[in-house]
Amino acid sequence: MAAKRRKASTPRKPAKPARPAKPARSAASKAVDEGDAKPGMPIEVAIAAVTALLLVVALVLVEVEKGKHYGTGMFSNMYEESSN
């Protein structure tokens, strides 16, 4: 069961006055701020480039392992000569 609310023993404080609004920036300062900020590479392009690089590295590593252990693939001749 919910408790009943008691009446306040002291009156409430008066509300604080609102703070004054900040003055709006001029159009000239906005143009300077926007012109100085040079955007970098978009995150989507960076992720795509890193993914492509990692896929190429993975392909080369798989081919090296195939050449080393099975004697096939792009690097098969390299390991045959060193084992003789």
Q: What is the CA radius of gyration of the chain?
A: 35
Spatial neighbors of 35 by CB under 8 A, at least 6 apart, are none
Q: Which amino acid is at 10?
A: T
More confident: 59 or 28: 59
Which pTM value belongs to this model? 0.48
Instruction: Quickly state the pLDDT bin for 79 (edges 50, 70, 90).
Output: low
| pLDDT score, position 30 | 60
Q: Cα separation of 23 and 15, whole Å?
A: 24
Instruction: Please say if the pLDDT value at position 7 is more than 80.
Output: no
Tokens 């955007």 sit on residue = 39
